[in-house]
Structure 1
């Protein structure tokens, strides 16, 4: 079984654990719990938890390791987590990185409790998260630069109809790629010019957003290129040889944006999220700085995020830095 020695590390006493090198051998129950998270979160949590076990065991974790970790008492388990956090701090990991590791371990414990395999809790009073200074790169492209994509989209082709609708929707409703990747035909209502979108992760939270008539027409024209549609069919599908007919994934949307923008001659490396940044920045101009209106558009829970876009757009910090610098540094009595 797994125990803690006097140095606070895990040791293996008796029994032979089946180590499958190179693979994450978490229990199927835990993997089922983990599937409630978005794919990127799944991969991140699995990798973070793997390194947590590797730090103590010096090998790949097994199903038995996870089960035995869940079976520890509260003091022992939280001592391990605190030792791991101290290791991350001493090795120079960034605060945000350390917090991601702690979030993964906290989720592992939560999953164990949900499965009735773990009786203790993550001690948040003893194991505090690191303070993080947030930085958001909200740089994007201007509307004139973005409009170059429509010069290279061929509206006489099915692919062109799809891409035209996608690029209009990305900009005008500043949607996230994960939101577009979840859309079904039944989520689109042409008569009311609305679209039902689902939030990040795998939750069922949804909201209805209004569409500009031109955007609604473009989506309708794209759907008109397809046959025998059902409400459960994906709204946007792949058209390449290997994936034709399958729902566009987040990675697929990223690839489309990158390729079309490169073909349009946009020099900045573009992504769905950079289009979102660009649209939000342009919306701030159109709303004359009314960040609350823009918050309704972007659906950010925290209005301070919008203020970061405002500062990036107007470069308030640089403006004041230049004014302050102009007032100092001059020698009063040069020799």
Structure 2
């Protein structure tokens, strides 16, 4: 659906009248706005989302002129336009959480433009979708993960790398971005630590303690690739054409999918599913010690761990069985 279609229905046609002068000073707004976010993953996802927004408004996609026209709307016009965009997201069947994320990105851009004097309205009263508090924390069993590890050919350079990555995902419940952002200097074999950029921690590195087997496997990978410099990526591509390039988040996803398939695991597995599996296994092993497991998961709120623990114990299922036994 284009802006022209959205706007014509609401007598906002003036918004679309070409005026190259209006776009003066708007060329760098997107890049300057995105530069405020520390996480490369956030910058990438926000850029994709805002370009998707403008592509929905206009089939020609994003342009500085289109951005200028949007930011120069009257507040009522902007709310009406974004509300219609909200409607198209619902029509496309997107999940409430995804819809809210897209709307949050638009609101963030508008807030930034307001701060620098390029917009005179905000979207503070924009209505969001109601999101269920249910959190799916299901993963795979320890035995299933062992099958994945056994599927890795550790005699190859690729296998040594992949094995080390899988151990980090399981043993330290790392997020894939925490794995891919590490450099060689972040790994300390003697201290058995890895410095990571945790979610929501900005540029402040966190040190996590590694298991002995993980340390040995990372060292084995580093020795096999040879001549590692401190500022080089801890994990990089080994195939022709991309050798030495830092692995990205999608690369880690593909590694997990590859070994899940080789291990004949039917569940749709991802790096974050392994994180779920690791946290659940830790709760099982510690008899539900959420305080201890919070040190592993690095969740800011203990309430998140309680969701994992509740799902693990399936209290609802236990109570249902009790009720059936009363009949």
Normalising by structure 1, what TM-score?
0.81
Q: Distance in 2 between matches of 1:280 and 1:211?
A: 15
Point out the structure with max Rg over C-alpha. 1
| 8 Å CA contact retained: 1:174, 1:279 | yes
Q: Distance in 2 between matches of 1:37 and 1:123?
A: 23
What whole-Å deviation, never above 9, does each CA across 1:149-186 have from its counterpart, x for those lacking one?
A: 23232333322222221121111101011110101001
SS at match of 2:224: coil
What whole-Å deviation, never above 9, does each CA across 1:105-144 have from its counterpart, x for those lacking one?
A: 11121232354422333233xx333321133221111112
Q: Distance in 1 between matches of 2:109 and 2:293?
A: 37
Structure 1 runs not aligned, ≥5 long: 19-25, 329-335
Q: Distance in 2 between matches of 1:149 and 1:86?
A: 42
Alignment of 1:76-225 (within 5 A): 76-82=77-83, 84-85=85-86, 94-124=95-125, 127-200=126-199, 203-225=202-224
SS at match of 2:225: coil
SS at match of 2:310: helix
In the comparison of the two structures, how many residue pairs are matched? 317
Q: Distance in 1 between matches of 2:91 and 2:160?
A: 54
Give the drift of 1:192.
0.9
Q: Distance in 2 between matches of 1:6 and 1:144?
A: 58
Give the drift of 1:13.
6.0
1:15 corresponding residue in structure 2: 18
Name which of structure 1's ranges 219-228 and 69-78 shifts more when overlaid on structure 2.
Answer: 69-78
Alignment of 1:1-335 (within 5 A): 7=10, 9=12, 11-12=14-15, 14-15=17-18, 27-34=27-34, 36=37, 41-42=42-43, 44-46=45-47, 48-50=49-51, 52-53=53-54, 60-82=61-83, 84-85=85-86, 94-124=95-125, 127-200=126-199, 203-327=202-326
| 8 Å CA contact retained: 1:139, 1:278 | yes
Name which of structure 1's ranges 79-88 and 300-309 shifts more when overlaid on structure 2.
Answer: 79-88
| 8 Å CA contact retained: 2:15, 2:73 | no
Give the drift of 1:61.
4.4
Q: Distance in 2 between matches of 1:285 and 1:202?
A: 28
Q: Distance in 1 between matches of 2:277 and 2:235?
A: 22
Structure 2 runs not aligned, ≥5 long: none
| 8 Å CA contact retained: 2:107, 2:124 | no
Structure with greater proportional helix content: 2
Q: Distance in 2 between matches of 1:308 and 1:130?
A: 22
